[in-house]
Copies of this chain bind each other. A is one copy, B any other.
C-alpha cells in the first residue's frame, strides 16, 4: 500500500518554508489518508542518499509543530540539485527509493528551479503509469513565480525590508549634516523585494526617496544627476537598490569585472552594489554616505515575519497535500487573491509547466515614470502581505527554533 508521504525542501531559505512543511505535516495527520510522514534531508540530494527521516516521530507534540512553523530557513536542509533531463538512471533510482519507502505522495517545496524537478518527476511517473503523486509547494522571497498572486516567504521578506528601511531612516537622520544612505536588497531577477521598501512610507516615514528595480536599466550618470537633485530638497536621502541592477550592456552593476576592484595583490575583489554605489557617491558628492546590505536576514528573520505570510505558507502546504490525496500530480498549489479589502485569498492548483523555470517580473505599469519609484498600484498590491505579528517563541529573550539535526535517518530492510 503506497500511501506514505515524502516531503523535501529545495532552493534558497525563506522564513516561511518551514510553515509549509508544518502545514503539510498537519494535513497529512488530519487527513487519515497518509500512513507515514517522511522528510528528505537536503531535498533530492538526500533522497538519493536515503537520508530520509521520520517526521511523525521527530515531532513530539503540538508545541513542536507550532515551533517548526516559526523556525526560519529549512529544518530539513536544502539543495541546489537539478534533476537531469530524462532519460537518466537517476529516475529509476528515485523510483526504487520511493517504492522502498512506499511513497504515494511526494511534495517538494521550492522556487522555479525546484518546480522543474516537480515537472520532470511527475512526467516520468505518468509516462510509466506509476501512481505516485507529485505536487509542488511554491516558496521564494523573490516573488517571481507565475500563476500565483504572490509566493510564500515574500510577505515576510517584504515586511523585514520595509521595517528595516523605516528604522535605517530614523538612524540616518539624527545629524543635521546631509547624508545619502544606500540600502541593498535581494532579488537578482525581479524587483518585488526592492519595491517593498516603499511600504516604509505607510506609517509616516519619507524614505525611501528613490527605488531602483532590476526591471529598469541602470544608468550611473543619470543616477548621480537624479540623486544630486533629490539631495537639494531632502537632507537625508535613502536609496533602495536591487542587487540585480544591470547596465545597458547587460552586465550587473556590481560585477567585479565591471568595478575592476582588486586587492593589494591584484586579486579580484567581490563587492556588492550597495558598497559600490556608496563609493561612487562618496567620490562625487560632498556629504556623509553609508551603505547597508540587508543580506540574509531579509530572508531569515523570524522576528520580523508576517503572520499573513506564515499562515498562507502553512495553508498552501496543507492544500498541496490535499491535491495529492485527491489524485492530482504535476501541479503546484498557488494563491489567488480574491479581494484587497478585506484581503481574501483562495488556494488553487496550476500545471507545473506554467511555472517551472519562468520568471515573473514587476510589470512596467507599476514602475513610476521617473524610473526610480513604484506606483500606488504596487503599494496596494504589497500592503496586505505584511500584516500581522508572528507567534514568537521566546526563551531568555531569544527566539527558539526546532531542529532535526540529530534525528537519525530511517533504516529500511531492502
Residues of A at the B interface (CB closer than 8 Å) are 9, 12-13, 41-42, 45-46, 71-74, 77-80, 159, 162-164, 166-168, 170-176, 199-200, 202-205, 259-265, 267, 269-271, 275, 278-279, 282-283, 290, 292-293, 295-297, 299-304, 306, 308, 383, 386-389, 392, 394-401, 403
Contacts and interface: CB of A to CB of B under 8 A. Distances in A.
A45 B176 contact: yes
Contacts of A290: 296
Contacts of A269: 261, 269, 271, 279
A278 B170 CA distance: 29
A46 B391 CA distance: 43
Contacts of A168: 296-297, 300
Nearest 6 A/B pairs, CB to CB: A260-B264, A386-B397, A73-B170, A171-B300, A78-B174, A387-B397
Contacts of A172: 296
A72 B170 contact: yes
Contacts of A282: 270
Contacts of A204: 400-401, 403
Contacts of A283: 267
A395 B167 contact: no
A163 B398 contact: yes
B260 A397 contact: no
A164 to B, nearest CB: 6
- How many copies of this chain are found per oligomer? 2
Nearest to A170: B73
A301 B403 CA distance: 27
B174 A399 contact: no
A80 B397 contact: no
A42 B177 CA distance: 10
21 contacts: A12-B174, A13-B174, A42-B176, A45-B176, A73-B171, A73-B174, A74-B174, A167-B297, A167-B399, A171-B297, A204-B401, A204-B403, A259-B263, A261-B264, A262-B262, A267-B279, A271-B275, A293-B295, A386-B396, A389-B392, A389-B394
A265 B260 CA distance: 8
Contact of A80 (B175, B205, B299, B403): B175
Nearest to A205: B401
Contacts of A270: 278-279, 282
A204 B406 CA distance: 12
Nearest to A276: B263
Contact of A388 (B262, B397, B401): B397
Contacts of A164: 297, 301
